[in-house]
Amino acid sequence: MTDAEQARKSVIDAILKGERELANNLLDDYAVSRGHRTAMNEVLEPVLEEIGSRWAEENISLAQGYIAGKVAEDLLLKIHDAEQESPVKQADKGPVIVGNIEDDYHSLGRKLVSVFLQSAGWRVYDLGNDVTAEEFADKAVETGARVIGVSAMMYTTAANIRKVREELDRRKLSGRIKLAVGGAVFKLRHELAYEVGGDGTAANGFQSPQLFERLWQESLRETPL
């Protein structure tokens, strides 16, 4: 078993036992000679993918999922602090918007997506839960974001995402601003992403940076700067 594989196993065990501090210490130990970004790429990202798979299969609790999200936030903060002090700055890919749609309060998935987007170099504006279509559009215009990411866990709230598409259409922003959608319900019904007006979806949080990159580039092709 490689060092990375052993670290992943130990971090997963710590998270499932609810031991956030231990998980953080294990990641710090791995980062001593490699750096925290390498610890994110080689250890925590595979761990979170495993946690995400177990979450989808309902094999972990909400509390365990929450611990995983907090561990990811802790490591991202360390990466941010280290890169702020470094003379070599990570490229800023641009601003993006994320939030849970109106009437949706299931924030774990959205928070993990924010972590992965920030880690990939995106400047993330997280609007939180219960965000209206107008709030999404206003923030995108204010920041110059070309991608809005909207999360919903259930079909009843996913239907509200259609309001975001309608708001973008009303303001003649569709094409200029792309709409990424995600959440548990989209894994069960893949076609729902397009039924609610989305321009794309990702199978999990790990794929969200690639999705946002693709949609950003599509926006540039359709409405160049």
* Phi, psi (degrees; rounded to nearest 5) at 204: -160, 175
Contact 71, 81 (CB under 8 A): no
Question: What value does the mean pLDDT of the chain take?
Answer: 89
Contact 166, 197 (CB under 8 A): yes
* pLDDT, tens only, 200-214: 999 777 688 889 999
- Looking at per-residue pLDDT, the higher value among 223 and 179 belongs to 179
Cα distance between residue 153 and residue 40, in whole Å: 26
Q: What is the DSSP letter of 89?
A: P
Element (H, E) at 98: strand 94-100
Q: What domains can you pick out in the chain, each with its CATH number?
A: 3-85 (1.10.1240.10), 94-222 (3.40.50.280)
Q: How confident is the model at residue 6 (pLDDT cuts 50, 70, 90)?
A: very high
Query: Which residues fall within 8 angstroms of residue 182, CB to CB, at 6 or more apart?
Result: 109, 113, 149, 150, 151, 201, 202, 208
Contact 200, 168 (CB under 8 A): no
Neighbours of 2 (CB within 10 A): 8
The pLDDT assigned to 108 comes to 76
pTM: predicted TM-score of the whole model, two decimal places: 0.73
Contact 185, 150 (CB under 8 A): no
Is the model's pLDDT at 83 over the cut of 90?
A: no
* pLDDT, tens only, 27-81: 999 999 999 889 988 998 888 878 877 876 767 887 887 788 889 888 877 877 7
Is the model's pLDDT at 8 over the cut of 90?
A: yes
| DSSP assignment string, 130-159 | SB-HHHHHHHHHHHT-SEEEEE-SSHHHHT
The pLDDT assigned to 84 comes to 64
Neighbours of 91 (CB within 10 A): 7
Is the model's pLDDT at 144 over the cut of 60?
A: yes
| CA 43 remoteness from chain centre | 17
Cα distance between residue 63 and residue 6, in whole Å: 24
Of 90-94, 119-123, 181-185, where does mean pLDDT reach its minimum? 90-94
Locate tokens 């070599």: which residue?
A: 88
The pLDDT assigned to 87 comes to 54
